Structure 1
Amino acid sequence: MLRGRDALQREQALARAGSQPLQAWSAVPLTQSPDYSRRSVAGARPLGPVIQLGNSLLDEQPGARLLLPVRLADDSMLLLDLGWLADSRPQPALLLPPQLRGQWLPWHGRWTLPGARSGVAGRVDEVAMASLPQVYPGRWRQGVLVLQPALPGLQMWPLQPPLSAQRHFAYALQWAVLALCLLLLLRPRRWRKG
């Protein structure tokens, strides 16, 4: 149920933001949380190497989301989602245009197994978000700006959750019905006679 509620909130926030005009990043206070808004950013400069977030399936193909920590014109820092790259393709040259457009989303952590590689450079299984300010000291913005469109040679990472809220709710209902059936089958005989 909780996953369904989270997915529903994200779907609703994306729908609201999709109907709003593109806003300049310069008006965003440093303390503001990601609000799914569509933003334009000028003059972003890379801080370090690309982070390849592996194990990112898109249309059932293995690949990686390419993430880049950048410094913005106001000297704050932000993580950009440049797009998705299939494992079978070489990484293209990644040049940031002077003007970027994207949607500002909260960062969603991943479920990883023990031994997963966490980091802020190279190919990782999860981004060590808490380490970004240690590696790149300064004023960090929350969340990630998912570029729309993705950089040339990359595919845009979908903004919608992979499972809709309705599918989460249906799944929860299915388990509730199965549990009820199991309770009815396993109840003591004396309850059946009464």
Structure 2
Amino acid sequence: MSLLSALRTPCWRCVLRWLALLALGWALWQWQQGVQAVQLQEAFARAANLPPQALAEVAQDAVPQGQRVWLAVRDSAASVSIANARLQGRDGVRQWQAVQLADGSWVVIDRGWLARPAGVLLLPLPTGRLLGRWVPRPPELVAPPARLGLGGEVDGLDWQALARQLPGPLRQGLVVLDPALRPHTSWPVGPTANPTRHYRQAGMALLLGLLLLSFSRLLPRRLA
């Protein structure tokens, strides 16, 4: 069977229509993701205007959404330097450390950012309240070259190993201190959701779906 005769068969129209339905379904899903991203951005902005709450009084299975929180350190683990952290065009590291709260749970705090060379002596944590924003964890690194660990300078924190090591439950998310502990600089926080990207993909998928539907109707006529 020649290619021309194969394109005349109804099976190709069915394939094109199924592909169009998949593209339209993808467009609808991306649009829904964009709406959810807008809602997350609005919730993040509202949280910035609320008074800080004690993280120890928040349910341990709660999900961080950029809330302003305060905490008092009961105990702490070793700190880790997260490499490849660029701020205002300068290379540096972020200093992360797991600390224990009054309820016995643990949470990782971001003490702040240091420009390279980052060989600054890590000072003890203060005994008073620490203020910050409770945000979701950054995307985990899974590529083989990535260095995961619990100490020294690494590309990413090994969250699973940390949870196994701590003598108490590890809360979700990361508390980015604001103000940061000297001599660190506060790491800027914001919602991770990007509605523009989702809406752009929804538009491209919608266009592709409409083109496939049109092609499925026009192709047999032109080849007849």
TM-score range, shorter chain: 0.7 to 0.9
Matched residue, 1:62: 91
Answer 1 or 2: which has greater helix percent: 2
C-alpha distance after superposition, 1:2-45 (max 9, x if no partner): 87567534422211201211112332122322232211112343
C-alpha distance after superposition, 1:27-67 (max 9, x if no partner): 2122322232211112343222x111111222232222111
Matched residue, 1:122: 152
Q: Work out which of the two has the higher radius of gyration on C-alpha atoms and give 1 or 2.
A: 2
- Relative contact order, higher structure (CA 8 A, sep 6+): 2
How do 1:83-98 and structure 2 match up within 5 A? 83-97=112-126, 98=128
Residue 100 of structure 1 deviates from its aligned partner by 0.3
Residues 89 and 108 (structure 1), Cα distance of their counterparts in 2 relative to 1, 3 Å cut: closer
Would you say the 8 A contact 1:112–1:126 is kept in 2?
Answer: no
Residues 71 and 7 (structure 1), Cα distance of their counterparts in 2 relative to 1, 3 Å cut: same
Q: Alignment length, in residue pairs?
A: 192
Would you say the 8 A contact 2:72–2:101 is kept in 1?
Answer: yes
Residues 60 and 138 (structure 1), Cα distance of their counterparts in 2 relative to 1, 3 Å cut: same
| Backbone CA RMSD of aligned residues | 3.2
**2:82 is the counterpart of 1:53:** yes
The aligned amino acid for 1:78 is V
Aligned equivalents of 2:222, 2:188: Cα separation in 1 = 51
The aligned amino acid for 1:152 is R
Matched residue, 1:100: 130
3-state SS in 1 of match to 2:84: coil
Residue 91 of structure 1 deviates from its aligned partner by 2.5
Residues 162 and 142 (structure 1), Cα distance of their counterparts in 2 relative to 1, 3 Å cut: closer
Matched residue, 2:21: none
**2:47 is the counterpart of 1:11:** no
The aligned amino acid for 2:179 is P
Aligned equivalents of 1:131, 1:6: Cα separation in 2 = 32
Residue 142 of structure 1 deviates from its aligned partner by 1.5
Aligned equivalents of 1:133, 1:141: Cα separation in 2 = 9
Would you say the 8 A contact 2:109–2:177 is kept in 1?
Answer: yes
